[in-house]
Amino acid sequence: MLQPGQKVVVVGGIHNLHEHERLAMAVAKATVGHSSHDTRPDGRFHARTLTLLDGAVLREVSHVCSRDLTCT
Closest to 48 measured CA to CA, from 31, 33, 36, 65: 36
Within-domain flag for 53: yes
**Digit-coded pLDDT (tens) for 7-58:** 988 887 776 777 778 788 888 889 999 999 999 899 899 899 999 998 888 8
Confidence at residue 64, expressed as pLDDT on a 0 to 100 scale: 66
Within-domain flag for 10: no
Confidence at residue 49, expressed as pLDDT on a 0 to 100 scale: 93
Within-domain flag for 29: yes
Within-domain flag for 25: yes
Confidence at residue 11, expressed as pLDDT on a 0 to 100 scale: 81
Within-domain flag for 11: no
Confidence at residue 35, expressed as pLDDT on a 0 to 100 scale: 92
Within-domain flag for 2: no
**pTM of the entire predicted model:** 0.52
Domain tally for the chain? 1
Structural domain that includes position 31: 17-38+46-68
User: For the CA atoms of 66, 68, 69, 72, what is the dihedral angle to 10 degrees?
Assistant: -100
